[in-house]
Structures are given as C-alpha cells and as structure tokens.
Structure 1
C-alpha cells in the first residue's frame, strides 16, 4: 500500500509560486494515480486557504494547501530503483550540480521518463537516488537512444527560467551524429516543417510535411569517411527548434540519415557497417548545452564527453 493517511498542510514557497495545483499534487503525491488526484480536486477535498479550487488554479506565494488522507492500493509492489546497478551508475554521469539544477551526461538506451512499458526512466531514477530532493523535473527531453547533456531543475524558479530560454531560443544545443553518405555543407540550414504522426501501436513517426510545425536545424560536416562499404560523415547539428526527432528527420531529408536509425534509415543498407562498428542503434550525442541561470545572466557552456562506443566508431571508420 502507498499511504498518505493523514491530513497534510503545505505552505507554498517561491519555488512553487505560479504552479498549477494539479501539477503540484502530482509531485507531492508520488505514486498516486493522476485520476485519483483529479477526483479529490473535483470533490473539493483539496483546499487552498480553506476554499475549493479547480485543477487549473495557480498557486500563490504563502497559499496554504490542505491535502486529504489518501490510501491507494498498488497493483504490484513498487520497485526500489536505487538498487538497480544502472540507476546507481547515474551518479557518475553527473557533469555539474548545484542546489538549483544538475546536468547529466545521459547514457544511450535509457528513456528520460518511464511509461509505455518501461518501469523507470532517468527522472524516476534520479528521484530514487535523491529521495530528499523535493523537486526534480526535466527541463527538456532526449530520445531514448540519444546520449549527452540533459538538464534537470531542482527548483521551480529555475525550471521556469530554463524553459523560457527554450521558448525564446536562447538556450543553445549542439549535437554530434554519424550519418550515411557524404554530407554536403550546402545543406547547412534545413527549415523543413515537421509533422508528428502517432500510430495505433503508440509509436511516433515524424515526416517532413507542409502540415507540420516550423522547424530549423543548422548542420556542419566535421569529418568525412571514404570506406570500402560507402561514404559516411561525422556532423554537428544545432537545432533552433525542439521538435520530436528533429535532427534525425532533417538529416534524412538531406539524404544522409543517421547510421542504424531504424525509423529513418535503410537498416539493410547499414547492416554491414553496423556489424563492423558493433552498433545496435544510431549514434546521436548532445555534446554541448549553453544556458544562463537566474543568478548569472552570462550564459555558460557545458560539455558531455563522447560515449566510448561513439569514439570507437569514429576511430574504426577512420581506419577503413
């Protein structure tokens, strides 16, 4: 059983000022289904300053929130994520940390959050490792098989500040990727709109389409590899917008899809080089992230070291 079996009162501080009451409760009542949270809001069991509120109510500084007793039967025993070796290893992947945020060199192969059959993701793992942290939220997302810089806020004020930088395109992201083909630097700016389609299976497929949202990525070829099995390129990508699978789809549109990208490349054509490089998926690494904080207006650049497999692949292609 997950128990919140006593009435609880919370005084809202600056970190939660302006946050919707439903989002506040999702974090505070970890493990309680969202449907249950909305139910206690509808019934008026949650009170703010002794008054009923709706789910969209935005909390004010100094608000007093009353949370009723809640008892929820779990379908299965909750896993202690802190015992998983891969979860524990995340501590060594932290690039930089303050009391307000942390920057992680996310490993490839782990989703940023649980769901869709996944028992846990990066954010659940960090919360398990840091049970005393009251607030840990993803600032942005990376695909499951993408590695590199992932920013997590530890204060709501910082989360809002970082998300504003994303919204106004002042946060700079820089990626490295290995692609099939000889990249033409004439394709250094791609502004094709992207349309996201969700299949019945839940899988997301993105296509270049006039029906899609405006999208822009800047590219630069850093190194070319002329091998017996074809041409390949190491490219730098700077996305100016943050659409789903944006770099992968824009690279495909340019005629140079990421090697081993099962959604957007020809796996049969890539099969031999994938075997030679010992790759099971594509190589896309969020190498650099540049941003400011509420305390320091001057932006700083942080860098995530390349995964060993990425470096090995570059070296092997260079020798072929």
Structure 2
C-alpha cells in the first residue's frame, strides 16, 4: 500500500492509499477507521459526508466497498482530535476472557457485554477489538467481522486472518449468515405485524450519532419476529431473525410496528422504559442469541449460541411470575 504524508504540527497532509487485494470488499468507513486510529468516528463520517474523501477522484458514501487498486485520497486531518487510548484494565480482560464462546485458528467469537463499544472512539478509550488485540499480541490484525450496538450483548465474530474476514463479509452480504436475537418489546404483537420488510435510511448527524428511520429511499431491510412469550398486554419476549444487517434494524423496525425495545433510550417509549426499570431492567433488552454460518474455504460450519446474561433471565422470571 503506497501513501504520502506531510504531517506537520499535528495535522496530516493529503494522503493517498492504493488498496491492496487483502482489503478488497471492505467498507470505506471501516478502512478509514483502521488508517486513522483514534480519530473520532464523528470526524471520519463528517469528511465522508462532505465529500472530502475521494476514491479514484470521485465522491463516495460511507457504505462504499473498496476494490483492489482503488486510489483513496484523504484530506488533511487534525491528528490532535485523536482520543488518548489506554490498555484494557485487568477486570476488562478477565470479563472478555470469560465470555469467549468459540475460538480456532481463524475465528474468535465472544458474548459481548452490554454497555461496551466494539470500537474505541472520541469518548471511548478502549473497545472490544482494542482490548482483544491487547490480549492477543500475536494477532495485531484481529478484526471485527460485523458490529453490535454498544448496548447490545451477545454473539460477536472477529476474524484472525484477512481472507477469513473477506469470506465472512461475503457471506453477510449474500445473506448466508443466520442471526437470531432475543428482545423484550412493548405490548402484544399481532400476527400481521411479525414480518417487517421496510427500507431503512441512516443519517449521520453532527457528533456522529446515527439516526435511522423507515424511509422509501432507504436500503432494503427484512426482519421477522416470533413471539416466545407474552406477558399480558404489557410486554412480549420475541425471537428475531435478522435477514439483513442494517444499523439499528431491529430497534427501528420494532418501534415502527408500535412495539419498541425495552430500555431503548434512542428509539424506545419513555413510559414503557420507566415501567421496565420498575421491573428491574437497567439496560436495553436486546441480545444476539445465535449465529450460524459455513465457511466454504474450510467446509466448516460454525454454530454458536450466547447465553442470556443473568439480569435478562431475572427479568423474564419476574415477568413470568407477575403475568402468568
């Protein structure tokens, strides 16, 4: 990969990257985050939104996937914006080590804790991937194969080798990764509400905050809900089959159907969230329960299930006692 950098007084010069084969298929936003480690995500999305990043002299958006040989031009970036990263604490390392669900020479799958971001950022000094790289010093290129919201717990896949990363990305794009979530939502669902095939549009506002809504000009998104247990008309425990991987997909589709996720502070219902906290819930009830896919290059099927955290099990038990 070739690049030029005239760094001076904390500000980089114009930089050019020629994309090698190993990075083909990667999203431009993820590519930039790896190149500009520590620069706030909000800054990266801002320069993308303003067209300051060019690929082959053309404007692109955050979802653009790189091709071998692409010429990526970056504008001058103030490196002083980088957040000071710190190594993970011993408690964080122990927590993550205890939540490893699967590991081999190619993949690492953990039960991500709720409240922990997958990446470091402007206000997050260490994320899951940075902590795991610190724990696995011989794997400096350990990469996330996908993402989970910081508030979401459950199955999170990381790839140890770039070719495996590309393979998992390809499976995700082709819809060949089965992803099952469990969530607690408001009210009782009707059969007609369970299949949600509605496009989602994502907008990055200042500060890098994602705002997602159902919009006819958005990207296709398919979510299928299945009722596991209803608690009178107050709440429902739902199993969710995610056929696409749009940002905040489950949360926005559930909200659109009138059944927002419990303790979702962004898309949720304030009164329902207040009620859920009275039941004892202190986090968003959304959990990536299972992931299932086959790596063609290895002819290897990977099926992993993440147990619910004790707090979520306690809420289900309390609601079962109260309403059944």
Q: Same fold (TM over 0.5)?
A: yes
Structure 2: give runs of 5+ residues left out of the alignment: 1-19, 41-65, 70-78
Query: Once the 2 structures are TM-superposed, how far is the Cα of residue 265 of structure 1 from its aligned partner?
Result: 1.7
CA distance in 1: counterparts of 2:278 and 2:226, whole angstroms: 26
Matches within 5 A, 1:1-320: 17-19=21-23, 58=68, 79-81=86-88, 83-226=89-232, 230-277=233-280, 279-297=281-299, 299-320=301-322
Distance 1:57 1:197, change over 3 A: closer
> SS where residue 168 of structure 2 aligns?
helix
Query: Once the 2 structures are TM-superposed, how far is the Cα of residue 292 of structure 1 from its aligned partner?
Result: 1.2
Q: 8 Å contact 2:84–2:125 — kept in the other structure?
A: no
What TM-score results when the alignment is normalised by the length of structure 2?
A: 0.74
CA distance in 1: counterparts of 2:37 and 2:198, whole angstroms: 40
Q: 8 Å contact 1:181–1:256 — kept in the other structure?
A: yes
> SS where residue 220 of structure 2 aligns?
coil
Query: Once the 2 structures are TM-superposed, how far is the Cα of residue 295 of structure 1 from its aligned partner?
Result: 4.5
Q: 8 Å contact 1:185–1:221 — kept in the other structure?
A: no
Runs of 4+ in 1 over 4 A off after TM superposition: 22-33, 56-59, 72-78
Q: 8 Å contact 2:37–2:82 — kept in the other structure?
A: no
What TM-score results when the alignment is normalised by the length of structure 1?
A: 0.75
Q: 8 Å contact 1:102–1:152 — kept in the other structure?
A: yes
Work out the number of aligned pairs and report it: 268
Structure 1: give runs of 5+ residues left out of the alignment: 1-15, 34-55, 60-71
Q: 8 Å contact 2:110–2:154 — kept in the other structure?
A: yes
Query: Once the 2 structures are TM-superposed, how far is the Cα of residue 200 of structure 1 from its aligned partner?
Result: 2.5
Structure 2 equivalent of residue 52 of structure 1: none
Per-residue CA shift, 1:144-165, capped at 9, x if unaligned? 0100000000001110110110
> SS where residue 299 of structure 1 aligns?
strand
Larger radius of gyration: 1
Distance 1:74 1:245, change over 3 A: closer
Farther off after superposition, 171-180 or 230-239: 230-239
Query: Once the 2 structures are TM-superposed, how far is the Cα of residue 88 of structure 1 from its aligned partner?
Result: 3.0
